[in-house]
Amino acid sequence: MDLAESILNNETFIASILSWFVAQCLKVVHTLIIDKRFNVSRFVGSGGMPSSHSAFVMGLTTAIGLTHGFDSSTFSMSLVFSLVIMYDAAGVRHAVGKQAAIINKIIEDIHNRKEKKITEKRLKELIGHTPIEVLAGAILGIIIANLVI
């Protein structure tokens, strides 16, 4: 069995990738419902509902638990890293997005006063996740891993 075939037959990997893919697709659908516009860039963008980072890592962690046991060191290690990633997505990255929104507003205000020409591009504001988006992504990953394994 070659490398590509081994990876494609790895249920843990499939559960993780499928969790990410479904989360990214749901972001496009969520944007369509909420903003009433089709935005294909949401498929590859970060931030938004649900968190694809959380879905990805919890899909992996759940699949590891189901295949290696929830008492295994491998599961424990995956869970710890998943919690760090989800904390970062809801904490630090969410705060960076809020800061970007404030900086963008300051730049806009200065630009509107015509005091000084601002040439900086707008900062990306949708970077992190709210705790609800992280939780939704985590639940999605858990469900998909249980369906795959």
| 48 found inside a domain | yes
Alpha-carbon span 121 to 68, nearest angstrom = 48
Contact 53, 47 (CB under 8 A): no
Phi, psi of 52 (to 5 degrees): -75, -25
In a domain, 111, yes or no: no
Do residues 82 and 61 make contact, with C-beta atoms less than 8 angstroms apart?
Answer: yes
- pLDDT for the residue numbered 114: 64
Largest CA distance in the chain: 66
Is residue 122 one of the residues assigned to a domain? Answer: no
Angle, in degrees to the nearest 10, between helices 11-35 and 131-148: 140
pLDDT in tens, 10-68: 999 999 999 999 999 999 998 888 888 887 877 777 778 899 999 999 999 999 999 99
For the whole prediction, is pTM greater than 0.85? no
- The answer to whether position 98 is within a domain reads no
Q: Is 116 within a domain? A: no
Residue 34 inside a domain? The answer is yes
* Residue 42 domain flag: yes
Number of domains in the chain: 1
Question: How many percent of the chain have pLDDT more than 70?
Answer: 80
For 140, which DSSP code? H
Taking the C-alpha atoms of residue 89 and residue 131, their distance in angstroms, rounded to an integer, is: 9
* Amino acid (one-letter) located at 112: N
The range of the structural domain enclosing residue 140 comes to 3-91+128-148
Spatial contact of 138 and 19, defined as CB atoms under 8 Å apart: no
The answer to whether residue 104 is domain-embedded is no
| Distances in whole angstroms, Cα of residue 62 to Cα of each of 7, 30, 72, 132 | 18, 25, 12, 19
Distance CA 49, CA 139 (A): 12
